[in-house]
Structure 1
Amino acid sequence: MNQSTNPSEVSLHAIDYWQVVKNRYGVILLTFLLVFMTALVITYVMPKKYESIAVVQVRPKGTGTQVIPGMTDNRGQESSMATFLPTEFAVIKAQKTLDAAIENLDLVNRWNTDLESVRRTLKGIVDAQDIRGTSLIEIRVRYNDPKDAQKIAKEVAEAYRERRNKLQADNANQALDELRKAVIVQEDAVEDKRKLLSQIIRTEGIIYSGDQSVFQGSRGFDQADDAESAARAYVTLEQDKIQLESQIETLLKYDGPQLMNYASGLSLPDNIIPVLLPQFQTAKREYEGMKSQGRGERHPMMISSAKMLEEMEKDLVEAVANLRETLKAKLALSQEQLSRLKTRMDLKEEEAIKGGIAAQSFVDAKNDFETAQRLLEQLKVKQISEEMQTRITEEPIIMHEEPMISGVPVSPNVTLNLALGAVVGMIFGVGVAFFLEYLDTSVKSLEDVERYLQVPVLAVIPKDVGVLYKQSGMSPDAEAYRILRTNIEFNRKNPEDNAITVVSGGAGEGKSTTLVNLAYICAQGGYTTLMIDADLRRPRLHTFFDINNSVGLTNYLTTELMLEDVILQTPVDNLYFMPSGILPADAAGILNSRRMSELIQDVKQRFDLVLVDSPPILGVSDASVLASEVDLTMIVVQHRKLPRNMLMRVKQAVENVGGHVIGVVLNNVDVRSDSQYQYYTSYYTYYAPAESQPMPTSSASQGATQPPSPRQSPRGSSSSSDDSKQDLY
């Protein structure tokens, strides 16, 4: 649902904004002209400034000829830094650069001022900027004297060039001095390291070839190998000793057959148990075989076999004992060898450590010497490069464009200033218009009236509508009052409510003109209409008809005059008029009287419509008194004049005295410029007169025709009046 209504709302808002611009185009135009003229005056009074430009190329250090291939100047890397050009801009505008230009031009005496003022002036007129994508710098000087601008630009560029040359030369000389000192220090360091290396070679007896990176014939490497071999032999012998100890321990732990079996498994050169034990086991099996065959222990073969087994067992026991003694002897020998080898290994290890330390000292001294020597060579090459570079002339600043004397001022920019003034004026004018529209709480639309007053809008009266009865022909403006007449007829609940007072909140809202034109239209429609000028402060109705105002309402209320003496016939048929009469001192008191009430009741019986003009209701109390006397009250509101809260007070003032508001007439509306009222203009062309028609006149003169008698029908002839209203509505 919301999505479907958004486009119409946006369109309505755009129309509203355009309407604000149309309604307040005068304010916008005035504001635009004021801002534009201000810009024009400011541009005219601004002092003219002339610009002179010097274009120079900046060549950072190191970007010239490369003296020694492969040698780079790290200081030349500043050209690739993003801060290089901004730094040079600051150098151009620095105090020392400007002071040099001031001194060369003698600006203090020429301008007859002090040095600080000249410095401030130059800081304000000197500017520097780069040409995009290049190393070119534009030195710009803007001043009110074109010759001074040209001279200052030239001297600033020259001062900048001299400072750059001097700084670059000073830096190069300082760097060269420091490089020479570094070469001397490095030469001393190389000599010291050479002496240390020679001392180590002589002390350790090292054979060293200077063009090789290692030494030859040194004992250090042999000693390290001997120590490593001794350590390996010691480890092997120690493992053998541990094995012998384990074998002896096992021989001591076993007994009987287990001992025989274990001893037979030892692979030793003097071990005969592996031979004897199988023979003993074979003989024992034969003995057991004969025994199983039933031979007794006394059998000769059994006895012989038993003796042989006993001998063989003794041999085995003796062999085990011999094996044990052999192992013990070998263990003792192994321990003695291990002790001697331990002593030898410790000696070899100590010799290897000493040789390694000496070798390491040699290698370190040799590396230090070679590194120092290479560094010295690099420093010497650098020194030669710097000395040659210093002797080569390299211009860091190249002037590409000399400053010229300008004949055309660059400031103020008339076209730009006026264009900005026009744009700002238009924006400011539109802003003022919308701000005034925001502050404006007056009635702007029919919806405003109906929303705040809760009463209908009876008619919209166009702007600049004159007095209708004085216009010739069929005026299209009359249609608005015909609509008003119709709406009054259909919005009054009681047909007998025919006394209507016309009020407004303030003066000048068109109340009297609206009443006269409405009365004229009603009279044209066949209504016998009476206009009563009850505005006893500033009466105006008599001026519309050029009628004498000396006798009228006040005379009737304060004397015994008859009604026929104060009601006059106008040149329009069916239209009568009661002037205000002599202005009284107490207008409210006269109106708030019994005779005034009787007057209203009397004229209601005599006329079809009674229209009473009153003063502004918010200014005096007269209008409130009249609103309480008549049947209906019609409020006239001038478009875009009265604030909404004041309009609500008008209605409240009527209702507070018992009056009834029939509706509102929105007056003086510019229907041609205000889009929301443009549908009211359709009758302008529809009802445009085809040909001129004569203005209606009456044969009766002023005062010659008497007002209708109260004895007559209230609306003239009953048949003719009723038929006329039926035709009209």
Structure 2
Amino acid sequence: MNGGKPLQGEGNIERYEPARLERRPLAATGSSGTIEMERAPELVAYWNVLRKRRWTVLAVFFVLFTLVLLGTLKQRPVYRATALLEIQKENANILTMKEMFELDTVSDTYLETQYKIFKSDTLARRVISQLHLDTIEEFNPKNRSRESVDQAVLARFEDRLGIEPVKRSRLVEVTFDSYDPQLAARAVNVLAENYIEQNLEVRWEATQKASEWLAQQLAGMKGKLEKSEDELQAYVRENGLLFLETEKGGRENIADERLRQLQEELTHAQSVRYEKESLARLAEAGDAAALPGLADNKLLQDLTERLADLERERAQLSSTFTPEYPKVRQVQSQIEQIEAVLKRERLRAAERVKNEYAAAVRREALVRQAWEQQQHAVAERTVQYTILRREVGANRELYEGLLSRLKEAGVSAGLKSSNIRIVDAAQAPKKPAKPNLLVNLGLGLLLGLGFGVGAAFLLEHLDNTLKSAEDVERFLQVPALALIPSAQSLNGNGRGAHGLAQGKSPKKELALAKKGPPHPAWFRIDAPGQHGTFTEAFRGLRTSVLLSTAERAPRTLLVTSARPGEGKTTVSINLSISLAQLGPGVLLIDGDLRRPSVHRAFGLENEGGVVRYLTGGQDWRQVVRPSGLAGLDVIVSGPMPPNPAELLSSERMRQLIREATREYRCVIIDSPPLLNVADSRILATMVEGLILVVEGGGTPRELAQRAQACVRNVGAAVIGVVLNNLDLRADGGYYAQYYRDDYYTTPEASTNGDAAHAAKAHQG
């Protein structure tokens, strides 16, 4: 055979290794061998899914929207009454700087507490009792015990009650829902009034309890004060403590006053002693002239002046006379007498200073001794006295404070003021608050669209079939050679291009094939009045096959599928017809020895054929029969043999393909499904290329991948996939835009220029 060499396989089956076909690597991902290429999601792909599943989206949307609409219309109107209350801070006083910064936190806590009290069971039971809500059908369910009725009424009341604080204020909105607008308004107003009344009751009870506690504490404190005063007076009497009234009206202890006086005398004695001591030190140093008091002595002043006069006179006489001169001697004698008197007076003054210093020292010692004795006596009695006096003062202060608080509590108990007031009382609403038709319809619209889109993508995710050329390239990594539309999607009639005969089921067609009469009602592109789109799809397949390899088109092709009923025989027949329209030299072999169908497509008898040749009865040229079309010959299958696989794996089958290739331009073999029997895998080793036919939107990709793996395991090459019986209305009509009736013509009127050019380019 041209362009390849036989390889020894298992048993006696030879495998043909094509030499001119380009092989694409198959990358298996995951443990299951799923072949998948990563591709970024595109908005167009999402839009195509929605267009394809638009009826699912619309159905889910219509159901949910209708349910929401019916539920809204059947719902009983609910009226909502609203009252506005102001909650002020309780017991507002003058605040410190720290309290000013902590005001928001404390205030928020207080407000949250009031909101909880608003929704308390106690307050709700008071309103239920006053309005007799347990007798109203809206709140009182039937056929229940009394205890369960109370709980049910309470639960329904609290469910209809709403508390909504107004931001950045001390205002709060209280709402209540009811079927009766008048009842809704009464419930809110009664609730607000009971809340204010309960607040007053709580404050009054708290004040009463505080007054009772203060009275008890005051009585005890009064007894403690009297006891401490008695102990103080007894101590004063026992220790002989006397007190004098001061000018300011206070009382002063005599012992303390005596101690203070001695302290002053001691301080004075010390200062006098310091003064006398300094004078005594001057006297001891011989500086008597510097002693105070001498300069003021009249006698000493006169003697000093007389001494100065005599010394001047002596100086005058000495300048004229000698010391022995009587006058000089007289003056000298007077000077000596005066100096003796001055010396004696100074010595007398120094002695007097020393005596005064000694007296000052003795007086200081006496005063100090008296001060120490008085201090010791005062210390023993004053410490205990001070303790008792402080205790009396503390008890008196506590007593006066409790007495003041008790009076304030009495005044507060008499005041009936509340820090809560009703700003706006509730009025009976004129319009119902529920149901809100626009909101519910908008919600139904969103839910319907959301669930519809979700259902569409869920179905798309669960749909594991191959539906487009992108799916083929993504999961199988081989090109999609052609997309064959179904007849039903083209004109609304017929079963599509995958059946055996128009309007016949596969089982009926198999029965007709066994009976033998030909049934030419096939989806053949050369049939009169055939749809131009269907014909043009096979022309596209023909062009893809001719251009599938680089050097030349494959001359031997095997057409198969993963499972029965996918249209492999129809593809084989129409591909052969399309190739024959380019010129003679096309041979179609029916290799499906188990369920042959090619003979009925051309109205031939299923006699002789491949089986007769393989069993050695005839030459292969003797079993070739004309198809009735110019350029196309057919070898039918023949009678069903007991061992199809053994016949197909024989050397005569290989010889048939080799010799037919020499005489025909192209040999096409129609084979059984890959996953059912081994016949197709045997034939795949003898051809240059294999075409895998899958049903668009019907073949699971796992089956297609398994079929491809079977071909790969025997060393054959898949040149591409034909997506057959494709519903052009699926995927939102994505492919329908490429198959327009006004563009394609009938097979007779159409030209074959593109395919003819491709055929010339690959002739060799």
Q: Same fold (TM over 0.5)?
A: yes
The separation in 2 between residues aligned to 1:670 and 1:597, in whole angstroms, is: 38
| Structure 1 position 14 matched with structure 2 position 51 | no
Q: Secondary structure at the match of 1:610?
A: strand
Segment of structure 1 superposing worse, 600-609 or 663-672: 663-672
Sort the Cα spacing of 1:693 and 1:668 in 2 relative to 1 into closer, same or farther, 3 A.
closer
Partner residue of 2:635 out of 543, 554, 578: 578
Superposed, 1:461-480 pairs within 5 Å as 461-462=484-485, 464=487, 466=497, 467=523, 468-470=525-527, 472=529, 475-480=532-537
Q: Deviations over 1:187-229 (max 9, x none)?
A: 9978997999999899978879xxxxxx845563999888666
For 1:99-110, list aligned pairs within 5 A. Answer: 105=135
2:413 pairs with 1:386: yes
Residue in structure 2 matched with residue 81 of structure 1 by the alignment? 111
Query: Counterpart in 2 of 1:331?
Result: 357
Please tell me whether residue 322 in structure 1 is matched to residue 378 in structure 2. no
| More displaced stretch, 563-572 vs 395-404 | 395-404
8 Å CA contact retained: 1:221, 1:356 = no
- TM-score normalised per structure 1: 0.67
Q: 1:283 to 1:569 in 2, by over 3 A?
A: farther
SS of residue in 2 equivalent to 1:584 = coil
Q: Is the contact made by 1:220 and 1:359 (CA closer than 8 Å) also made in structure 2? A: no
Structure 2 vs 1, CA of residues 513 and 268 (structure 1 numbering), >3 Å: closer, same or farther? Answer: farther
Q: For structure 2, which runs of at least 5 residues remain unmatched after alignment? A: 1-37, 91-106, 488-495, 498-522
Q: Separation in 1 of the partners of 2:419 and 2:717? A: 103
Instruction: Return the offset for 1:89.
Output: 1.3
Q: How many residues align?
A: 655
Change beyond 3 A, Cα 1:159–1:415: closer
Task: Tell me the percent identity.
Answer: 24
Contact 2:196–2:420 (CA under 8 A) maintained in structure 1: no
1:506–1:324 CA distance, 2 compared to 1 (3 A): farther
Taking the aligned partners of 2:310 and 2:590, their CA distance within structure 1 comes to: 175
Alignment partner of 1:616: what SS? coil
Aligned to 2:163: 130
Deviations 1:546-581 (A, max 9, x none): 544455433443462565664443343323333333
Where in structure 1 are there 5+ consecutive unaligned residues? 1-8, 64-76, 209-214, 253-258, 697-720
Alpha-carbon distance change, 688 to 456 in structure 1, aligned in 2, over 3 angstroms: closer
Equivalent position SS for 1:220? strand
Residues 525-544 of structure 1: CA deviation (Å, up to 9, x unaligned): 12432222222333343454
- CA deviations 1:284-314 (Å, max 9, x no partner) are 99999999x9x99999999999989987886
Q: Which of 424, 427, 440 in structure 1 is aligned with 2:447?
A: 424
Look up the equivalent residue of 1:137 and give its one-letter code.
V
Please point out which of 87, 91, 113 is paired with 2:121. 91
For 1:51 and 1:378, locate their aligned partners in 2 and report how far apart those are by CA, in whole Å: 52
- Pairing partner for 1:665 from 717, 722, 725: 722
State the AA in 2 paired with 1:430.
Answer: V
CA distance change for structure 1 residues 524 and 190 in 2, over 3 Å: closer, same or farther?
A: same
Q: Is the 8 A contact 1:460 1:665 kept in 2?
A: yes
Question: Higher mean Cα deviation, 608-617 or 528-537?
Answer: 528-537
Q: Quote how far apart the aligned CAs of 1:234 are.
A: 3.2
- In structure 2, relative to structure 1, the CA distance for the partners of 1:377 and 1:594 (3 Å cut) is closer
Contact 2:78–2:434 under 8 Å retained in 1: yes
Q: 1:241 Cα deviation (Å)? A: 0.6
Classify the secondary structure of the residue corresponding to 2:685. helix
Contact 1:92 1:156 in 2 (8 A): no
Partners in 2 of 1:11 and 1:91 — Cα distance?
Answer: 59
Instruction: Return the alpha-carbon distance in structure 1 between the equivalents of residues 196 and 312 of structure 2.
Output: 120
Q: Whose relative contact order is higher, 1 or 2, with alpha carbons under 8 Å and at least 6 apart?
A: 2
In 2, distance between residues paired with 1:416 and 1:181?
58
Q: Is the 8 A contact 1:461 1:666 kept in 2?
A: yes
TM-score by length of 2: 0.64
Letter in 1 for 2:410: Q
Q: Cα RMSD (Å) of the superposition?
A: 6.3
Cα pair 1:98 1:119 within 8 Å, conserved: no
Given the superposition, is the C-alpha separation of residues 303 and 565 from structure 1 closer, same or farther in structure 2, using an over 3 Å criterion? farther
For residues 178 and 499 of structure 1, the distance between their equivalents in structure 2, rounded to whole angstroms, comes to 111
Q: Does 1:267 align with 2:324?
A: no
Which segment is superposed worse, 188-197 or 540-549? 188-197
Q: SS at the partner of 1:514? A: helix
CA contact (8 A) 2:188 2:426 kept: no
The Cα of 1:318 is off from its aligned counterpart by 4.8
Matching residue's letter, 1:116? E
Task: Give the C-alpha shift of residue 242 in structure 1.
Answer: 2.5
Residues 572 and 668 in structure 2, CA contact (< 8 A), matched pair in contact too: yes
Distance 1:338 1:31, change over 3 A: same
> Cα distance, 1:447 vs. partner?
6.2
Paired residue secondary structure (2:668):
strand
Residue of structure 1 aligned with 2:595, choices 494, 519, 538: 538
Which has a greater percent of helix? Answer: 1
Query: Which amino acid letter does the alignment assign opposite residue 529 of structure 2?
Result: S
- Report if aligned partners of 2:307, 2:339 keep a CA contact under 8 Å in 1: yes
Distance 2:134 2:559 in 1: 89
Correspondence for 1:121: 152
When residues 469 and 40 of structure 1 are mapped into structure 2, their CA distance, relative to the original with a 3 A threshold, is farther
Do the aligned partners of 1:633 and 1:662 also contact (CA within 8 Å) in 2? Answer: yes
Residues 372 and 95 of structure 1, relative CA distance in 2, 3 Å threshold: same
SS in 2 for 1:601: helix
Q: Relative to structure 2, which stretch is displaced further, 588-597 or 31-40?
A: 31-40
* Residues 501 and 627 in structure 1, CA contact (< 8 A), matched pair in contact too: yes
CA change 1:612–1:286 in 2 (3 A) is farther
CA distance in 2, matches of 1:79, 1:451: 63
Matched, 1:498 2:585: no
C-alpha distance in 2 between matches for 1:366 and 1:722: 128
CA gap of 1:722–1:436, structure 2 versus 1, over 3 A, is closer
1:499 deviates by 1.9
SS of the residue 1:491 aligns to: coil
* 105-114 or 481-490: bigger deviation: 105-114
- Alpha-carbon distance in 1 for matches of 2:276, 2:393: 51
Shift of 1:627: 1.2
